[in-house]
Amino acid sequence: MEGSSSKARITNRLQAVKCYSGKSYSQIAKETGLTNVYVAQLLRRQAQLKPETAPKLRASLPDLTDELVDEMLKPPLRSYDPNLIQEPSVYSNGLRISFVNLDDNPLLNFDEFCCLVGCLPVLLIAANFCRLNEAVMHFGESIKEIINEDFGDGIMSAIDFYCSVDKVKGADGKDRVVVTFDGKYLPYTEQKLEHMVSRLPGSQ
């Protein structure tokens, strides 16, 4: 299994490749046929690169090495930092910056490090995480109630799931952020013994 330190090293290199390309996640998404959020997940080792998609991603990001692609083809260790949902006031200048020690990151050379540090969008902006968490938590009960009314007793999948971020103009002409969650509906199962194969006679 991929360790957290190994994941961090690979992620740093992937972010450096993106930084060198000068492309945004949305640009890469258009070139690969993926959603922009899924591209970001791939380059943060939060999603697995599928073999049939690898050539498109390499065409979009020519600096991707065979080693990096091989790592991206492996199932990732999906995780998140629980500190990211805290109020931004606990961070310096609203940013939570992870300093990279080159001695601890042998796969990250000095040029990649300089590009990474100079490419501020790859740093974790705490305020965005805080507001997203706040929005979901504040609207969560209402969203659940509407799902129950329209679908029944169930949930939205986060596995059979698509996500995208779009920029639109509001009625006042100002920029607005549109985050779309598109997940499969999963009904809760009534737990009947006759359907529980592991408990049926002769199953032991």
Cβ pair 81, 7 in contact under 8 A: no
The DSSP output letter for 32 is H
Q: Given 134, 145, 176, 199, which residue is catalytic?
A: 134
Q: Given 5, 67, 131, 145, which residue is catalytic?
A: 131
Q: CA-to-CA distance for 51 and 180, rounded, in angstroms?
A: 26
Paired with 96 in beta bridges are 124
Residues 6 or more apart whose CB falls under 8 angstroms from that of 134 comprise none
Q: CA-to-CA distance for 44 and 8, rounded, in angstroms?
A: 8
> 96 catalytic, yes or no?
no
> 157 catalytic, yes or no?
yes
Residue 117 burial (CB < 10 Å; 0-12/13-18/19+)?
middle
> 134 catalytic, yes or no?
yes
Cβ pair 23, 15 in contact under 8 A: no
Q: Given 5, 87, 157, 199, which residue is catalytic?
A: 157
Q: Where in the sequence numbering do the catalytic residues fall?
A: 131, 134, 157
